[in-house]
Amino acid sequence: MEEYPIIDLSHLLPAAQGLARLPADERIHRLRADRWIGYPRAIEALNRLEALYAWPNKQRMPNLLLIGPTNNGKSMIVEKFRRTHLASADADQEHIPVLVVQMPSEPSVIRFYVALLAAMGAPLRPRPRLPEMEQLALALLRKVGVRILVIDELHNVLAGNSVNRREFLNLLRFLGNELRIPLVGVGTRDAYLAIRSDDQLENRFEPMMLPLWEANDDCCSLLASFAASLPLRRPSSIATLDMARYLLTTQRGHHRRTGALADGSGHRRRGELRGSDQPS
């Protein structure tokens, strides 16, 4: 371990304090990894997901539509939730309580079933027929105990023609009725528009928006949380309104891009980590 006079790391979270004692190259590597920052709206979204997870089984289950601009942290929220309820396996049975599947870029019912079966690790026969895939998918979803089905990139449904869109929206209704588990759609505003085009689905999916960030106290709090999670040996000064305005102007209010740029302020110059560790 490199020699460095560490005096006070109280500006960091406990986990980051341990990382701050690593050599510079290792800290730079850790800086580039994804990290969870529990800002209020994200925690609210997680709580909504947990409420759905614990919902008692009934004929019509509630659904959620998590909507926000690209790179606004939606997928990270879903991944945090999934990791809270990881898949497991015993001697002869796999359990997948939270199944996340990505909507194909060219949407169709059969391609969605392919993605669904792949997410469960099911082998596919050459040129399977749609009825066979449907029955296999339903059987496996029940067998592995899926309690929530998350469909990421749901806005891709609008990339299909009107026939494909209608077929897929009908499929969502069918899955909800057949499985009696909550469905969670994740996507941009186009996902909301797609769901709104079907009166029955609009009544079943409750939208939750993740808006663009603004330069305010909440944003400064987010930046302070970022700074406390970065393995920098001296306090960072990014949690200011001026820095918030700069980051949001540069990244157009996107949470993930803003976080990446905030990370970058700590590692784009290696000398800062080997020297003062004060991001510029």
Are the beta carbons of 64 and 182 closer than 8 angstroms?
yes
Residues in the chain: 280
Q: Terminal CA-to-CA distance of the chain, rounded, Å?
A: 26
Amino acid at 237: S
- With 50 as the cut, is the pLDDT of residue 266 above it? no
What are the tens digits of pLDDT across the range 102-145?
A: 999 988 999 999 999 999 999 887 888 899 999 999 999 999 99
* Residue 28 pLDDT: 84
* Residue 209 pLDDT: 94
Fold of 40-209: Rossmann fold (3.40.50)
Amino acid at 197: S
CA dist., res. 23 & res. 29, Å (int): 10
Residue with tokens 């371990």: 1
CA dist., res. 79 & res. 122, Å (int): 21
What are the tens digits of pLDDT across the range 234-247?
A: 888 888 888 888 88
pLDDT class of 277 with cuts at 50, 70, 90:
low
Mean pLDDT of 185-209: 93
- With 50 as the cut, is the pLDDT of residue 217 above it? yes
What are the tens digits of pLDDT across the range 17-53?
A: 888 888 888 888 887 777 777 788 889 999 999 999 9
- With 90 as the cut, is the pLDDT of residue 65 above it? yes
* Residue 86 pLDDT: 95
* Residue 5 pLDDT: 54
- With 60 as the cut, is the pLDDT of residue 152 above it? yes
Mean pLDDT of 200-211: 91
CA dist., res. 157 & res. 159, Å (int): 5
**pTM attached to this predicted model:** 0.82
Are the beta carbons of 31 and 260 closer than 8 angstroms?
no
* Residue 267 pLDDT: 42
CA dist., res. 73 & res. 261, Å (int): 14
**Where do the structural domains in the chain lie, given as residue ranges?**
14-33+213-274, 40-209
